[in-house]
Every structure is written in structure tokens, then in C-alpha cells.
Structure 1
């Protein structure tokens, strides 16, 4: 009977298929009842699967034990985490519990110089010894007060609460002062003699606001409206985007306010990205921005624009990066990182030359991304964790969890701590991911790497550096090529001058472009300097040097 039933099932399936395939043209309507995505089959993913060295479940946050996002801090080879309202200290390599502390505790958990800061549901702040788990001090209880975050300097702990900012003596826990004018504070930072607190305030309009508070007295020194958390603080000035709502009279998309740190006064507003003629100012959008060194990166109009923040936009031609997807991180390692538009995954654009770097294995939307030295750590919304080399794009390992969201990855004593929903997972980190990034500052000139070769008197040279192209002109690495010709290159640190000694002549090197601390010069200038023939052969993609010709 079983065989007959199976046979009948197969015949019925064939009958349905045949019926669909023989419908007349007049009767057929193409269905839209199915969808097939583009996910890579799991068996084709060659990234090695790791095994956690330990894991633990933290339990779900609840109204009784309300947690914020990040329940973890690390230091001294130890991980400190909140579990069921208690603070737990565990060995980072083994997960073995060292001590537990308190009850009804909440985030934020902060490690700082051998101590842990944490608070409870009554608004009481605790400073705990990281080594022993004993109380160093606890503040007075304030009913109805929740601590959202901490900041500190060498003498004071600053607590951001729903009733304002409180300052506690770091040694005793005694309340120094309170400032009730700053509510809903989004971030705090100590800058010289001030505590900067960024928040938002709602009236007829909801606006971003930054306050400066005297960190000794708690007195408000100034208030800057339409100024969110600073992008940059340098040489006594705060730089931040002016977020006052735009109107139809605006002619630029991105105003950068320059705020005098001592007074809070806007001394200049630099405008970037001119609105195209005939385009409605209210329809233009700027999504996000970031700074790196002297450069300001602005996302707008489906592109990223790079400016020198020290000059107004009208005085410069911005470098533009085109992409498909969403800008999610960077600059980091001189790269901008994007979540791909279709199918998930991450691709980076090199800031220096627009080259693309794909990151292996990633194939779902990103829930969390953190960088640490040469490591790039990603949690995807399908629950998979990846550890990648940010320089090469190669994935070192992956691990599948049941999570959909991730909080900050932490690194301690060569161990990666991943927060996946209500669980912690610890992994040993490959040594290459712990290596510091190479110091390669962004160049002041845009260039393109080439695969061109260099020949000297007909012989192909083996050099570590290839020629590059700047504005469609070929440049060669000065020192590498000069030494290949038997010349000596001498640098005078005092004057910054470079001299080439060639055939008993002392020659002043031509001006070139410094890229990644290497000087490149135009091939024509190089030939004229040494009195030799230097020619670019486009067909052979070769720089041909002939010392017998001038």
C-alpha cells in the first residue's frame, strides 16, 4: 500500500505539471507566487568555521533589570558583564567566573584604570575593584533616576542621567555638583577644562544642542544650538555640521560650523556641495559625514565627496567616490566601507586610488561591524559572525549563532568577545588580526596604481614599486629607480632637500608627489635630471630607460 501511495503521489504531481504546460495561450497568466534570492549556498562558503573557546547565556533584559545595549567591559585579561542584574568578572581566555557583584545593576559597564563603574535601578553609582570585586564607593540613591552613560577624568566621574548630569569625586564618590539643564544627553566628553554634553531639545522644532560645562563647578558656560556631537576638535575650535532644518533659500547641502571652544560662538560657517541649478533645496539630502586627518567626507546625491575641511567648498574641487550600496564605516585603513545594495556583503573603496576590495564570505545584511588593529569583526542579521583581515579582505573564520542582532565586539588578551542577542561567545583571534595597521596617511593627490614595468637598457627591473598614474601622466618612484641606475639618493633632514649623486654629479631632485611616504616624479623630469632617455611605451605598458641616449 505504501508503494502504491507513493506511486500515486508522483503521478499526481506529473499531472499537475502537464496541465500547466498544456494550457492555451488565451487562458495562461504568469503567476507571481514565488521568490528566489541570490544567497550563496552554504556549502560553497569556504571560510573556516571556528569553535568558541567558551560561551555563556546572559538572559533576556527585562523591566526589572533594564539593560542598555552593551553589557560588557574588558581589562586586565578579564571580561566584566551583566547577567541577571549582577556584575560578573570572568577570565577572558577560559570564561571561568572570578567574582560576582551586586544586584539590579544596569548598563553602562565601564572599565577604567583597575576599576569598574556601574549603576542600579535606584540611580546609585558604584565603583568596584576590578581585581577583587569589592566596593570602593557607592553614591547616594536617587529614586527615579537612571544613569545612561559615564565620562571621567583623573579626578571626577560624570554620570549622564534623566535628571541631568552629576559629578562625583573619583576617590570618594561624594557628589561635587549637579547640572539639571542638560537632559537626554546623547554623549559626553572632557575637553581641557570643560565637559561637552550633546543632546536634543524639543519646542516648536526639535534641534541638536551642545553644552559646555565648567568641569570644576558644574556651571553652564555656553550653549550652541543646531550643533550635534562634534566631528572634530582641533586648535581651540569645534567643527560640526549645522543641523538647523534647511529651507528653499539654501544654496548648499552641507554647512560646517566652526565654533570657538572658549566661547561657543560660531566664527565661521563653511559651505559644501552646491545644490544644482533648478533643484529644490528641500529635496536634497545629506546622510552622514566623517573626518580623517584634514579631510571631510560627506555622503550626498548617491556619492561621497571628499573636501579639505580647512577651506570652504568653493575654493576646491572635491574628490568624488561613486558606489552602489550604503556607506556604513570608514575611513579606516584608508578605505570607505559599504554594505552592498543586493544580496548583502561588504565592499570597500580605497580613498587613495578608488580601488575596490571585497570582503570574503559575507553575504547578508550587517548588524554590527567593529575594527580593531588589522581585524574587522562583523555580525550579520542571519546570526553569522565573521573575523576578517581589513587590509586583504580575507576571512579568517566564521561562526553561526541564533542571533539577529549584535552589540559591540570586545578584544581582550587575544580573545574576541562577541555579544549575540542574549549570549556571549569567545574566540581566539589569529595573530595577524592583532597587528597594528600600517601608517599610510591619505595623500594630497589622487593616483592610480599601474601594472607597468620598468626596463633599463632593455632589461626588465624587479622593483617593489611600480609606476603610478596621476592625471594621465606616468610617475616613477624616485629612489627605487635612481638606485637601480647605480645612483645614490641623499636626504637632508634639516632642509628637506633630496640630492641624487649620479656619474659624479650632485643633482637636486625634481619636485614630485609624496604618496605613502614615497616620492614619485614624472618620467620626463626624471630623464631630464639625469640626462638620459626615459620613454613611456603605451602598447607594451613599459617605462623604457636608455642610459646611452639623452
Structure 2
């Protein structure tokens, strides 16, 4: 099993190419063929060699009419059960191992729902929030008048729903609406939230020429706006009543040589800036490129106690809780990535992950030795990529779905789905749910894959 190259022999064609012109005068005196200006071909192509697995079952689900829609959740898999939105816009529960129907719920539901602690929280097409137990028993329903909601999140005992500038908070047990607010109309709200010390945090992007984020804090019980800090992002961390947020320096400091990422230390309850950290490095100026920031060229994220900063040519790691003004990084790696590769802000099995936005291929920088590994190309470009445990799953534009070992990149198995359209893969226990062509396909994983 593995990757092979196919070669098409051309010996007979070459002999024919010599003989036919000599005979052309007496075989077909009036025949003539137009010659190409240039002819070039490649007899080699990639073939992923792996056992082919067939789905144990399949099930057609609701189609997302607009791929750019904010509501695209049509299936989830948890605790051996697949929860899916049917074509009739009812929720159905299927046994993951067999595809057998367990129960059905609701009507006119929207493609937006989550699973959390044994319950499903979802949206109706008219903008109501509902809760149902994983056994199909309805808990409650609350009208929010948010038919275009883009996210549902449960934090603590509260379910939050976002829609543009709107943010609603619902008691997770009773379904009672706690509060609903709408922010400045000149903003666009991002979906991700954070909560600590009775404060809910959300970032908004200003709809102006310089679209920068503002970090806004609300009282978790009343929804009252507490404070706002311009040019700040959701916090890297919150500890002892303080949050740590990266400050955006666009149009303030764009020195291409003496670079820095400032991290503001902010009081969670009052919004007062108590101090600022500055993580500095230097780069060699390139007059043809100029200043670049964001992604691989100036961004940071926190993983455990380690702060990783992408610094263009290098990747640096700092101990976040042992900051000093003149502190040096604990480790530095050469960031030998392609221009088309961007960080995924995730360390998995001691590898920093990157995605190639041109062909959806994966690259991994080994933190042990700095080596960059790239998943070999399949027969065609990938349109979907997922990682579960030690396995990479890719759905290709030709309908082939491949599984690879995360460490060695060795092909493990292939599924022929028959469709180039893929959605995020699901997994529960030893069952993989491939989503392609508007269908769910249940795959029994080999025993070697966990």
C-alpha cells in the first residue's frame, strides 16, 4: 500500500510514428493531418493505494441551499448516535453503527444545532431556540426572533445565540430568556464568546475602511454593557480577574524590521488596562514586500502554558506565565513553509499544523526537530480535511475519500463516495461518518484506528 506512479509505454507508438510517414504517399495520397504547434504530456500521475472500504449504511439529509450561509450544521455525532436534519426539516437520531432510526423530533427546524452534556440545542426556521434530550424528549422552546442566527454556544448554565449585532442569553435548564441585546449598528459581531468572573466577552468588527476589532464586555446576568476596548481581540487567557488580549497595531506601528506583538493586561470587570506585555523580534526588511502582519507573519496563540508567536522566518515559543520585558523565547524553529501555507493555530502530537489554502493540503512542523512534513498529494485536490486522533481524513474533488496515518502519512483506506461535495467528517466510537453528496455514510473503522 502507498503511493505509486503509473507510466504509459510508448514504444509501439514511436515505431508507428516512423513507418507511417514513409508509407503516406501510397496509403492515402490525398490525406493530410494538421500538426499541433506543440505537444507535451505527463505520463506520470499519483495513485493512492489503500484498501477500499464500503459504507455500512447511508442516509440522505437536508441540503444547505447556500454554501456561504451562516447556518450549515446538518449533522452531529455523539455517544454512538448521529443527529441529523432531514429533507423535511425534522431532526432524526440514527444509531451510528447501523444507521437505524431511533427517534424523530420537531418540524421546520434550521440547519443550526449543537450537542452539549446530553442535550441538543437548536434553532427553528422562525428563530426560536429549542432544547431536546438525546433520547428525543423535548425540554423547552423559546422565541428569540433570530431566524438568521449564526451560532449557538452553551457556557455554564447559559445558552448564547449570536446573529450579527445581536446576542441573546437563555437559561439552559428552564429555557427562560435572560436577556437579548444588540450592539452598535456600525459593527459586525463575531461568533466566538468567552466568559469569566460573571462577564461575557465578544468581539466586533467595525464596518469602516480600517476594519479593526473591538472587545466588548457584558454582565452575564443582565446583559448590561460594562466596557469596550478598541483594537483588541478575544483574550488569550483569563486568570485572577485579569484577561490578556492581543492589541492590533495596524496603522500605528508597521516597522518591517523591529517587530512586536503587544498583549494588554485588562481588568475583566472594569476594562481598565493594567499593563502591557511586548513580545519583540527583528526581521530583515524586503523592499519588494514591505510590512506584513497576521498569520505566519505576526500572530500568536496560547496552547496550555506555551505562547506560540509566528514571526515570519521563525516560530517562537514562550512560557506565558513567566513573562519578563527582556525575556527570550524558550524555543525557536525555522518556519520553512510555503507562501500559500497558513497556521491553523493548533499543536497536535507535538506538531504545529498549517493548511495550504490553495489545495487544502496539510503541513506539519515537528517541534522535536523543526522538520516540516507535508501530506503527499492525492489523485486530485482535497476539498475537505479532518483530523481525529492519529488519523487524517481527506475528501477529494473526484469523490475519493482517503484516510492517512498522522505520523507517517501512510494511506490507510479509501472510500469512493461518488460526489465531489464534502462536509466536515464526524466520528463517534469506532464509526466514521463521511458526509458527501448530501448523504451520511457510516464506515466501520479498522481495529487499528482509534
TM-score tier after normalising by the smaller chain length = 0.7 to 0.9
User: For 1:292, which of 287, 292, 303 is the aligned residue?
Assistant: 303
Higher relative contact order (CA 8 A, sep 6+): 2
Deviations 1:163-207 (A, max 9, x none): 511111222222111121275332123334222222312235211
Q: Determine the C-alpha separation between the residues in 1 that align with 2:424 and 2:142.
A: 28
Q: Determine the C-alpha separation between the residues in 2 that align with 1:210 and 1:57.
A: 41
Q: Determine the C-alpha separation between the residues in 1 that align with 2:149 and 2:198.
A: 23
1:502 match:
none
- CA contact 1:253–1:286 (8 Å) conserved in 2: no
**TM-score with structure 2 length normalisation?**
0.77
1:320 match:
333
- CA contact 1:47–1:361 (8 Å) conserved in 2: no
1:389 match:
405
Q: Tell whether 2:174 aligns with 1:172.
A: yes
Question: 1:180/1:335 Cα in 2 relative to 1: closer, same or farther (>3 Å)?
Answer: same
Q: Give matches, 1:259-408, under 5 Å.
A: 259-262=265-268, 263-266=270-273, 267-276=275-284, 279=287, 283-288=291-296, 289-301=300-312, 303-308=313-318, 310=320, 311=323, 315-316=327-328, 319-325=332-338, 326-329=341-344, 330-338=346-354, 346-357=362-373, 359=375, 362=378, 364-408=380-424
**TM-score with structure 1 length normalisation?**
0.64
User: For 1:70, which of 73, 76, 79 is the aligned residue?
Assistant: 73
User: For 1:140, which of 135, 140, 143 is the aligned residue?
Assistant: 143
Deviations 1:419-441 (A, max 9, x none): 2352222212234432xxxxxxx
- CA contact 2:189–2:202 (8 Å) conserved in 1: no
- CA contact 2:120–2:133 (8 Å) conserved in 1: yes
Moved more, 264-273 or 163-172: 264-273
Structure 1: runs of 5 or more not aligned: 1-9, 20-28, 435-550
Q: Tell whether 2:213 aligns with 1:213.
A: no
Deviations 1:264-319 (A, max 9, x none): 34421413332435758953243254433343334453x44113153479632661
Q: Determine the C-alpha separation between the residues in 1 that align with 2:197 and 2:139.
A: 27
Q: Tell whether 2:91 aligns with 1:87.
A: yes
Q: How many residues align?
A: 407
- CA contact 2:91–2:105 (8 Å) conserved in 1: yes
Q: Give matches, 1:30-69, under 5 Å.
A: 31=37, 36=42, 39-40=45-46, 42=47, 45-62=48-65, 68-69=71-72
The Cα shift of 1:216 comes to 1.1
The Cα shift of 1:35 comes to 6.4
Provide the aligned C-alpha RMSD in A: 3.6
Report the 3-state secondary structure (helix = DSSP H, G, I; strand = E; otherwise coil) of the residue aligned with 2:315: strand
Q: Tell whether 2:264 aligns with 1:258.
A: yes
Structure 2: runs of 5 or more not aligned: 1-15, 26-34
Question: 1:86/1:341 Cα in 2 relative to 1: closer, same or farther (>3 Å)?
Answer: closer
- CA contact 1:254–1:286 (8 Å) conserved in 2: no
The Cα shift of 1:327 comes to 3.9
More helix by share: 1
